[in-house]
Every structure is written in structure tokens, then in C-alpha cells.
Amino acid sequence: MKNGSEVAPQSGGSYIWTIVRMCAVLIVLCGLIYPLASTGIAQVFMPSQANGSLLKDAGGKAVGSELIGQNFTDPKYFSGRVSSIEYKAEASGSNNYGPSNPDLLKRTQESIEAWKAANPDVPIDRLPVDLITNSGSGLDPHITPASAEVQIPRISKLTGVSEEQLKALVSKHTEGRDLGLFGEERVNVLKLNMDLATMMK
């Protein structure tokens, strides 16, 4: 020790004990306290979002999340976008095909033919592109208002609900741009179909 000011070096065992204590503190802080605190705050201030933004029917049964689309195959209901993953949340993504990919061209043509068969009263040039294209995630729950409106003749014919009522329903569920600036107007297909199901009772 020089002039009584130098500190003796720690032993290897002392370093290990320091590391163990730091790990224990970080495990408690990051693995226990932080998750509990963030979960508690979320449950108090945004319980719906914290629990998955679930939508429930009149009986209180969860029928889906407003953040994840569903594959509506019954022609009486509004259909959403094409999903190459069948809206499976655990497999978010798409095939990422290029515009000249033959598989994409084949799938798009099949979607167009299916549309023509289900909507013979609507000219093909009125078919919005988002009804025959996949979103980047394959989970998009929204369509454009035009994509909802173009399905009205088919749904009115199959359900007996007037076109005027269906137009009002689409207008009711049309969401504006975020903060009035970002994104596009959109319609949540699950919310729209839940209201449609109520109207048909």
C-alpha cells in the first residue's frame, strides 16, 4: 500500500459475489417489478387494450379482437382483405411476392373470379384493389369504405336488409384518419358484421 491510499485488489470470489448480487437485483427489477408495474398501470388506464382489444357479443362472449381480421366466408357478411395466413396471429406476415410472381398473379385472378361469381351485379372495374390484395401482416382488420360499399348489393339481396340501411351501417363504422392527418378512412369488418348480425335478428 502506497502512502496508505491504495486499495487492495478484490479476490476472484469477491467479483463473483458482486456479479451474483447484481444479477439478482436486475432479475427482481426487470423480471418482476417492472412487468407487474406496467401490467397494473395498463389495467387501470387502458384495460381494453391491455386485454387484447376484445369485442364481445350481447351475451358477453368474446368473438374476436378489433386488431385482428377474420375470414368471413358466408356471403351474407362483409368480407375483408385476402390473408395468405388465414388471419393466424401467431404467423403474422405475407408471402412478399413481387408483382410479376406467377403465384401472385394466379391467386389474384382466382380472387377476381370469386368476386365476379359472388357479386354479378357489380362491374369488375368497381372492385377496390384492397379486396384482392394481402396486407403486409396478413392480419389487417380494416377495409376502405369503398370496399364495404361495393359489397352492399350482394348483402342486401341475401339478407333482406335495404341498401339504404347498409349504407348507413357502413357510414356508422367508418373511422377517420388518425389525428385527422395520418392514414386513410377505414372500416373495421368485424365490428361492421357484428352490427349486421344484430340487424338480421
Residue 134 per-residue DSSP state: B
The confidence score (pLDDT) of residue 176 equals 84
First to last CA, the chain: 90
Mean pLDDT of 13-17: 80
Check the CA dihedral 70-71-74-75 and report its sign: positive
Taking the alpha carbons of 41, 43, 47, 50 in that order, is the dihedral positive or negative? Answer: positive
Going by pLDDT thresholds of 50, 70 and 90, the confidence category of residue 5 is low
Count helices and strands in the chain by DSSP H and E runs: 8, 5
Neighbours of 170 (CB within 10 A): 22
Burial class of 85 by CB neighbour count within 10 A (0 to 12, 13 to 18, 19+): middle
| pLDDT tens sequence across 54-96 | 888 878 888 888 889 898 989 999 999 988 888 888 778 777 7
The one-letter amino acid code at 110 reads: E
Query: What CA–CA distances, in Å, run from 96 to 56, 124, 178?
Result: 33, 25, 27
Global confidence as pTM: 0.76
Residue 1, pLDDT > 50, answer no
182 forms bridges with which residues in the sheet?
A: 178
**Contact between residue 175 and residue 187 where contact means Cβ atoms under 8 Å apart:** yes
| 1-5, 11-15, 53-57, 118-122: segment of lowest average pLDDT | 1-5
